[in-house]
Structure 1
Amino acid sequence: MDRYGVDHHPDRTFPNGTLCRAGGGCRRSRRVKTTDANAVLAYRPLHAADAAAAHRLTQSIHWSHRLIDWQALLRNGTGVAALAGDEIVGVAMYWLHDDTHASLGMVITAPDYQGQGIDREMVERVMPALAGRSVLVNAFADSRSMYEDLGFVLVGRVERHQGAVFEAQPIALAPGQRVRPMSVGEGPALAALCARAAGISRGHALENLRPARDCVVLERDGVAQGFALCRRVGGAHVIGPVVAPDIDSAKLLINHWMATHLDVYLRIDVVGCPPLDTWINARGLLPAITFLSMVRGEAPQGDATMRLFTLVNLALG
């Protein structure tokens, strides 16, 4: 564990057979129980009151989510819980973005119950609630075959970068440009920019912001051209979403948060943009893991004049 309180161990397998990756996330190795999932488990809807139990579940697989992070996830999403007795040993969540799109995420099984098909069972149980919608998921590579069996197809990749920046490197603004704090009441306008970029309405991702602290806006000649959030999630400050018309504008926004968070542990999930990956690596945030962006149904199409460069989180997209 480093001075930021973040464990940078290499990939390693714990005595119970759980494989934990350096980039975050755990999967059970082949040494697993052979009991059929449905023979010992009950399934029920996931509730807001399950936040503490879900938090303990992520602790069991060495994810850094805090209780407050789970409360935020459950505020706008729901899903299914797998129970062994009264204990929650698995969850799968989903979020409805609009009438035609949804996201699937936080598909987690406790270490002692991995390798039994519980992940798949939970996903199959939530899919009927998403009927008629295109469903997006950002998955670990070793889950690809499961999602393909369920009708998902690969549409892209998300590259996670993490680390700290120790020196500010100013980037010159174009004439008429400025980076300013988000104004009170500006959330709906920024949510509209995000919807243009992603092809999905994700207004709930901008809820509960502290405008002067959480979000900055790139403005040119008085018109908002893009924005970027930076918030504490788990053991890191996450820069995302970053919405901008082009990569240079995205760099301006990301660079603002880097300069105001020197010597702070940062994480950025970049959506299919190798030139931005290269620039972020050069700034000191190193590649950690690649996630697969998959969709069941029609992939959303954003506006060609606006782009989603980084995610608010992997689950919400």
Structure 2
Amino acid sequence: MPLSHSPLEQIPLDRLPIQRLTSDDLPACADLSEDRGWPREEHKWGLLLAAGTGYGIDDPAGNGLAAACVVTSYGPGLAAIGMVLVAERYARRGVGRRLMRHVLAEAGDTPLSLYATPNGQPLYEELGFAEVGRSEMLKGRFTATESAPGRAVRPATAEDLQHVLRLDHEIFGADRTHMITRLPAFADQLRVAEQDGEITGFGAIWPNMDTHVIGPLIARDLATAQALVASLAAATDRPLRTDVDAGHTGLVTWLKANGLERIATNAVMMRSLPDLPGDWSRRFAPLTVAAG
């Protein structure tokens, strides 16, 4: 008997149909992460698929997803592309380019940001993205060898939310209410720094496999950022991981002195804007690089 084939197997890889992903596709997205040697990161996938728009290409052979990514919109002024993954069996065969071209067409004139690995950066440059900065991924057990400056830090309350949202909009440069309001449920700890009754920064740690990720980290200055990190680190016995804007050399040096090590660097890239909006000097770490 002749072997039966999926209809998708008859379509050239660079023309495969692209579908919208939902939270129901979370297991397939986690499988795709695992296929590429990444952690499954189901908690993070859940947030991104709920708050953003997922795009996927089915494997023509019927084995889950061949490729996927998520776009998190912050209105007409900015959207972030993240979790761009292509199954190992389809790597370097045009599937990733097919997915990205579709996303760019969907975005239209909306400026786009992303964090690029060294492997992915050449494709993004080909598609019109330009490097505007660098990010350092740090990981390790926080030792508190070098203490943090004295700043008042406390757990966030429901009454703080509107103040946090205003501060975040000012510093991030776009409205990410739909992400920040999910933090109390998504994160294990959400804390604010306060001076003279004014909230001067906030930070969270959220679970990701065997680590806690610090992000977002928004602060008036380095001392406030250090105080937030120290307070968050004291609330967990897991190793910490965070992605710090490489321009914040003071925080990077302090974190390394306290037991974290650099495990990767990524390029921060933009399309249709010369730089990220907002105030980078007070934006120390993203919620996750996948969401900008």
Residue matched to 1:218:
193
- Secondary structure of 1:171 counterpart: coil
Q: Is residue 67 from structure 1 mapped to residue 67 from structure 2 by the alignment?
A: no
Partner Cα separation in structure 2 for residue 238 and residue 185 of structure 1: 24
Q: 1:188 is matched with which residue?
A: 162
Cα separation, 2, equivalents of 1:249 and 1:280: 14
The structural deviation recorded for 1:213 is 4.7
- 1:144 matched residue in structure 2: 121
Could you tell me which amino acid in structure 2 is paired with residue 311 of structure 1? Answer: P
Shift of 1:221: 1.0
AA matched with 1:66:
E
2:88 to 111, 118, 121: 111
* Identical residues among aligned pairs (%): 27
> Contact 1:65/1:235 (CA < 8 Å) preserved in 2?
no
Instruction: Report which of the two has the higher share of helix.
Output: 2
DSSP-derived class of the 1:260 partner: coil
Q: Distance in 1 between matches of 2:216 and 2:42?
A: 22
TM-score, normalisation: structure 2 = 0.88
**What code does the residue aligned with 1:202 have?**
R
**Closer/same/farther in 2, CA of residues 124 and 162 from structure 1, 3 Å limit:** same
Question: Alignment partner for residue 290 of structure 1, among 246, 265, 268?
Answer: 265
TM-score, structure 1 normalization: 0.81
The total of aligned residue pairs comes to 277
Q: CA deviation at 1:265?
A: 1.4
Choose from 126, 135, 147 the match for 2:103: 126
1:158 aligns with 2:132: no
Cα distance in 2 between the residues matched to 1:233 and 1:77: 19
* Greater CA drift, 214-223 or 164-173: 164-173
**Match of residue 14, structure 2, among 38, 44, 51:** 38
What is the DSSP-based 3-state SS (H/G/I as helix, E as strand, rest coil) of the residue aligned with 1:294?
strand
Kept in 2, the 8 Å contact 1:178–1:218? The answer is yes
Contact persistence 1:242–1:309 (CA under 8 A): yes
SS of alignment partner, residue 120 of structure 2: helix
Unaligned regions of 5+ residues in structure 2, if any? 1-10
1:301 to 274, 277, 286: 277
> Is structure 2 residue 65 aligned with structure 1 residue 88?
yes
Q: CA RMSD in A?
A: 2.2
- Pair 82,36 (structure 1): closer, same or farther in 2 beyond 3 Å: same
SS of aligned partner of 1:315: helix
Q: CA deviation at 1:307?
A: 1.0
Q: Residue 13 of structure 1 corresponds to which residue in structure 2?
A: none
Structure 1: unaligned runs, 5 residues or longer: 1-34
